[in-house]
Amino acid sequence: MQLTPGDGRERIFPLMTDPTPVPNESIQWKTAPGFESWPTTEFERRLPHARILKDHRKKAVLEVDFGGTTWLVKMHRSEGAFRRLASGSRAEHEFRMNLKLVEAGIQTVPIVAFGTSLGSDLVVMEKMKGWTDLQRVLLDGSRSFPEIRERIRGYGRFARRLHDAGVWQHDFNPTNILTPLDPAGRELKVIDFERMKWKSSISSGERHRSLAKMNRIPRLGRTDRMRFLRAYLEGGEERVGGVARLILDLFRKKATEDAKKLARLCMREGRRFGEFRTDNELVFFRKGGERSTPEGISPERVGALLEEEWPGFERRGEKDPLQAWKSLHRDWRGDGTLPVAVQVDPSTGEGWLIFRA
């Protein structure tokens, strides 16, 4: 199964090159308990009409309208026969982790089914309407102080509950936690089970490393970070100040590692950065859009913005713009403003750094 580009503003991508209904044998489905009668054959026939939300080299996220419900489909591209034999498919792993969360009574979005085929694997869950990721809510300037305060405390308690239950998520952060958009909503649901593990217990060191990752929320003040930590440590024996210092040290080390990686990635086409070339211009830009990274630029807009000399952006002239672009990403530690693009004249090597106005 491959995503083949189609026409239209919504980027409609047929999953199959053959538009005729696909026989059920092409995807081997397994449904979750309670969803045994879920119509996998009919759902599979809707896949060619899926809307693509994200499309990366190894996976994609699709949106499918079916049976009066909107479903999210995460598609993992071919992993190779050896990996599947050695450790099973990613889709199956996500399915098992999600099932354990449901059985443990931990709030999550249930995966109703997963499917495997020769070219890719799929997991299917309902799209939660009226919900968004926690980070988006915490950084929403229109929210009241009491609401943000209580949501942060709830996040700390929820994180402690997951750790106490033995849930270890490699990238546990607020973008992987869903919460209602309603200002009165306080419920939290954990998502993203791809790199999740269940352990008999989680050590203090592992907890501290996980808390350091959770600490990478941009534009969140020290008071709110301490509020989260106090809620996490409620009823425990560890002192807030000592744990805060440990987390800060780990956070600084992690930020340094992330910045070095960012400096390598920003000079190549990939999931987070893109490259745009014409005869007279070279542009590297940070990818983004309404659904994923609002501070970035969607690849479709770069050409138009370049032609109109970046309306709505600020340009800063540089003698060596590529070196400045790379250095800013290498030295970034989560604070300050990064440029969204760099524009270079190949004939002179000079150009501009592009910032949001």
Per-residue 3-state assignment (H helix, E strand, C coil) for 73-134: EEEEECCCHHHHHHHCCHHHHHHHHHHHHHHCCCCECCEEEEEECCCEEEEEEECCCCEEEH
Q: Rounded to an integer, what distance in angstroms lies between the CA atom of residue 202 and that of residue 194? A: 18
pLDDT (tens digit, 0 to 9) for every residue of the chain, 357 residues total? 443 333 332 333 334 333 333 334 478 899 999 999 999 999 998 988 899 888 776 788 999 999 999 999 998 876 555 555 555 688 899 999 999 999 999 999 999 999 988 778 899 999 999 999 999 999 898 999 999 999 999 999 999 999 999 998 887 888 899 999 999 999 999 998 988 999 999 998 888 888 887 766 666 788 888 899 999 998 777 788 888 888 888 878 877 787 788 788 888 888 788 888 888 889 999 887 533 344 678 777 888 888 888 888 899 999 999 989 988 888 876 666 788 899 998 888 899 999 987
pLDDT at 3: 39
CATH code given to domain 24-126: 3.30.200
Q: What pLDDT is stored for residue 150 in this prediction?
A: 96
Q: What are the extents of the domains in the chain? A: 24-126, 131-264, 273-356
Residue whose tokens read 């969204």: 340
Q: What is the pLDDT of residue 85?
A: 56
Q: Helices (DSSP H) in 141-266: which residue ranges?
A: 145-164, 204-214, 222-232, 240-265
For the chain, percent helix, then strand, then coil, each to nearest 5? 35, 25, 40
Say which residues have a Cβ less than 8 Å from residue 129's Cβ, sequence separation at least 6. 70
Reference 41, options 56, 23, 57, 55; nearest CA is: 23
Residues 6 or more apart whose Cβ sits within 8 Å of residue 122: 27, 73, 74, 75, 76, 91, 114, 115, 116
Tell me how far CA of residue 147 lies from CA of 78, 231, 320, in angstroms: 43, 15, 46
pLDDT the model gives residue 78: 66
The pLDDT of residue 139 is 87
Domain 131-264 sits in CATH 2.70.170.10? no
In the prediction, which pLDDT does 88 show?
Answer: 66
C-alpha distances in Å from residue 89, one per residue of 55, 81, 120, 189? 19, 9, 9, 24
